[in-house]
Structure 1
């Protein structure tokens, strides 16, 4: 999933492994076991609006984390304990598999209400999942199309057709028929795409600003790129919800301020900053000093992310593998990491699967020195005919990303490659680079496992067969379309044993790196802060976000 991009693929056991390997730092004082205070307004300061809040379209951690306040999914993660626990959300439990994990049955809770007081039904869930197949609703996770029988040919419900592999024998039962065994399918259903949408309130491509709530909060007003206001959904009942609370009266999301300015405002802890929190990571210029500042320790959150920060090399435009290998060796990861904030941002990466994700295997095919190996890079360029190349590189238009872009530009200039940076607005970045009409030679990306299994990383980022299927929501930023890799993904995805499947993906990771289609940069950690009157923040190790589902404002 994008953090900013992100995918999810992790089993509960893998989550536990992830936490054991990369425990969350920072203070836990805001997760006090004392009774939360009711009332007040929590202000959320974000540098950018969300790409989407439409549950079938959002595929960023900020968007999905915010959706948890007003969108409920079939299953979900209870993160109040020492490790995340998969539980039923709309469903009474985590589902029942049959026929070799190819059929999954969920029974819905009674008493879950929409914001108008009507019941949430299995038919609403079916319709919600079906709408993700429409060409008007793009950008979300690809799992439904990959796994549901008939999903490859289905075009969504707007033409009046239904998907027969989703059955609703009664108002509270929904059954999914898959074309292959998926042992962790019930972890997929914790993503926002597996949520209910009432057909009568679906506004199609404009649903972002009109999402109908079955959670504790509902949209009062939404002005894109400026402000989102959530208020209480009076029909929500705590007795039906094992994950969320309804403590504050209102959430006020404000967009568009520079990230460093947000950091400093909340750090000052004056006025509205006392009851404010941020969702985007600290600016690279602030990270090191904030991480080591004892005066803000009680309100500083450092979430280890099951994910990777990377540079994608377009294999369609940079066709010579020797040039791509030269780029692998030339990148100085020390200056790159410095742009994102230094050591506090994360460890240097050499693989696309990160530690804590099931299937991770430690290896390094290129320079063991994080500063790179320019001599080796120049030798590879010489073998390629010593071309003098000019490449475009997509980045977000933030100071952190601009410093990152300059670091890459300097690294590649040393081997005769000129880099032209293409900065884009944060809110539109992934919508732009994921559209196959907009291909860049180099593209910055980051990816967080949708749940910590390799099956939510490599198949989404490197299955070339998906490029044509998702022309407006392509996650394969390197445009890698290696028939051998594609065949291995298909073969591995059908393995019923999760441990066996993860091990096979670990080997595939090494094969993908031999294609030199991406430069892994850092295994990420995300840091954020809140004001002194913000309580109940849960470190969300699935989203790598400060979770707001139990938050309250201290009086």
Structure 2
């Protein structure tokens, strides 16, 4: 086990939990014997390569790791719910919330020194609205006038409700009011991509350091597919005084065990999202950091596959599990859930957990599940087709798959075939609807239940199951324009109860805690308030 060198981890945890920046503007620089500043670098583990770095392309884990340090959104909400301006300096909206005008930061520059303009924001939006881009967040642009029609090929791009009257003004014209429009600005499709280089999805510009420019604190220095990518300080970043690190290296790992081993040998400085066994191994050690993951692990059922069109079958698959036992088998970092929305998602109006404000959508009942299968024509599981469950070949998912297979066999008499896949393959086949049962994990993109519930909309690009439900769509659409916060929360609760507890469109499994190992000498790591992910923008090495 790595030898402890510093004893201030509680300061680190404190700063993480309340969102402080730790080192801030304090002197955290290492110096050489001659008094010159020493290069500050950290190395972070991340899961195996998936997706690219283009905000208009296929978004997966690699982009999410990259974007936290390399891209500035127009604005975000901080841990106190206050607006933190980044790419913009101010905004205004009209009385009914259908026109939003953003004034861009005039000193914002790309990492090649060229100015960031309103056209760069429009560039990402336009490219995302091409279905060939494969961007799962395209439907989050559909609030903009004619965006959905453009995506569906029913309107031309020049009818899009995005106006750029000058380089520093960006205006959105919405077809209907959206009470959480500012929250959406965290999403990739609302971040800029330099129109000089980012002309197409999938042509390689995003992983080429010469063309992959960024507007955030760091920019791409090197990208070696399947191995690592390196970010270096953006010399033109407008907020240089808040940045301490010179380089961040992200290394790809195929397993959590490999991440842990790399941390223990000093190959990496931060290993996030490790196995629950690390909690016991590192109990009482300075390196161990536990954080809440605003994420839900669940299963998509393909509604075009027999017999998953039958709500009785979907309900039986849900009621026929014992999630408490499942979580005990998987690890102490999992918590059973019966919701789509993560338990760590807070209701901004009340400050309480959104899921705890409503009744549990359903309760497990193996006997009832057996009766439902019998009613559907499969007594004791007889005649039930052998469905295949696709899941990424990662430790936690493998353990989960085996436990599910065992429980459904013992409780319902049905056989599920397990199919472990590379992460990228699992992601691509799910997006294409090429599955019967498929593991899904969703981490919140912003601090609103819509980030979960929108995925089941009929027109959602993340609706991989083929759900087409006008009643559900109506509830969500009504919530979009509801300005009374209590009434809006009630609509969202109704939508989740209906989708998860009446139609059983998904099989929720568990929420999680993130088990992380962090070098105690590093200060200023923040926990992103919207997603729960660790953020390294203002990290740095402490004094020696």
TM-score (norm 2): 0.84
Paired residue for 1:75?
75
Q: Higher Cα Rg: structure 1 or 2?
A: 2
User: Which of residues 512, 517, 530 is equivalent to 1:524?
Assistant: 512
SS of the residue corresponding to residue 303 of structure 1 reads: strand
Paired residue for 2:318?
328
Paired residue for 1:223?
224
User: Which of residues 520, 525, 534 is equivalent to 2:522?
Assistant: 534
Q: 1:409 Cα shift?
A: 0.4
1:137-216 alignment to 2 at 5 Å? 137-154=133-150, 161-204=157-200, 205=202, 206-210=204-208, 211-216=212-217
User: Which of residues 269, 279, 300 is equivalent to 2:288?
Assistant: 300
2: CA distance, partners of 1:393 / 1:366? 23
SS of the residue corresponding to residue 64 of structure 1 reads: helix
2: CA distance, partners of 1:407 / 1:418? 12
Q: 1:261 Cα shift?
A: 2.2
* 2:533 corresponds to 1:545: yes
Q: 1:117 Cα shift?
A: 1.1
1:21-100 alignment to 2 at 5 Å? 27-28=13-14, 32-33=22-23, 34-37=26-29, 39-57=39-57, 59-60=59-60, 63-79=63-79, 83-93=80-90, 95-100=91-96
* 2:441 corresponds to 1:446: yes
* 2:274 corresponds to 1:282: yes
1: CA distance, partners of 2:523 / 2:477? 45
Cα pair 1:219 1:231 within 8 Å, conserved = yes
Paired residue for 1:374?
366
1: CA distance, partners of 2:431 / 2:322? 26
Cα pair 2:136 2:462 within 8 Å, conserved = no
Cα pair 1:352 1:520 within 8 Å, conserved = yes
Q: 1:65 Cα shift?
A: 4.2
2: CA distance, partners of 1:101 / 1:151? 17
**Change in 2 beyond 3 A, CA 1:421/1:307:** same
**Change in 2 beyond 3 A, CA 1:68/1:522:** same
Paired residue for 2:300?
312
1: CA distance, partners of 2:152 / 2:244? 37
Paired residue for 1:435?
432
User: Which of residues 423, 426, 435 is equivalent to 2:423?
Assistant: 426
Paired residue for 2:452?
457
Q: What CA deviation, in whole Å up to 9, does each residue of 1:35-80 have, x standing for no partner?
A: 433632211122312423212235446633421322111112444x
Paired residue for 2:350?
none
Q: What CA deviation, in whole Å up to 9, does each residue of 1:12-57 have, x standing for no partner?
A: xxxxxxxxxxxx9993367535543363221112231242321223
Cα pair 1:313 1:518 within 8 Å, conserved = yes
Q: 1:139 Cα shift?
A: 2.3
Number of equivalenced pairs = 498
2: CA distance, partners of 1:309 / 1:396? 12
SS of the residue corresponding to residue 72 of structure 2 reads: coil
Q: Which residues of structure 1 form unaligned runs of 5+?
A: 1-23, 467-473
Paired residue for 1:475?
462
Cα pair 2:478 2:491 within 8 Å, conserved = no
Cα pair 1:278 1:529 within 8 Å, conserved = yes
TM-score (norm 1): 0.83
SS of the residue corresponding to residue 504 of structure 2 reads: coil
User: Which of residues 249, 252, 255 is equivalent to 1:252?
Assistant: 249
2: CA distance, partners of 1:432 / 1:208? 23
Q: 1:376 Cα shift?
A: 2.3
Cα pair 1:312 1:445 within 8 Å, conserved = yes
1: CA distance, partners of 2:470 / 2:452? 18
Q: 1:378 Cα shift?
A: 1.6
SS of the residue corresponding to residue 331 of structure 1 reads: coil
Cα pair 2:49 2:62 within 8 Å, conserved = no
Cα pair 1:303 1:541 within 8 Å, conserved = no
SS of the residue corresponding to residue 313 of structure 2 reads: helix
Q: What CA deviation, in whole Å up to 9, does each residue of 1:308-346 have, x standing for no partner?
A: 22122223221222221111111121343235422x33x
The higher-RCO structure (CA 8 Å, 6+ apart) is: 1
2: CA distance, partners of 1:203 / 1:500? 43
**Change in 2 beyond 3 A, CA 1:354/1:139:** same
Paired residue for 2:239?
238
Cα pair 2:144 2:160 within 8 Å, conserved = no
1:356-367 alignment to 2 at 5 Å? 356-358=345-347, 360=355, 361-367=357-363
**Change in 2 beyond 3 A, CA 1:337/1:163:** farther
Cα pair 1:129 1:194 within 8 Å, conserved = yes
SS of the residue corresponding to residue 27 of structure 1 reads: helix
Q: What CA deviation, in whole Å up to 9, does each residue of 1:142-189 have, x standing for no partner?
A: 3443211010222599x9954541111222111000001012211211
**Change in 2 beyond 3 A, CA 1:237/1:483:** closer
* 2:328 corresponds to 1:338: yes
1: CA distance, partners of 2:102 / 2:483? 20
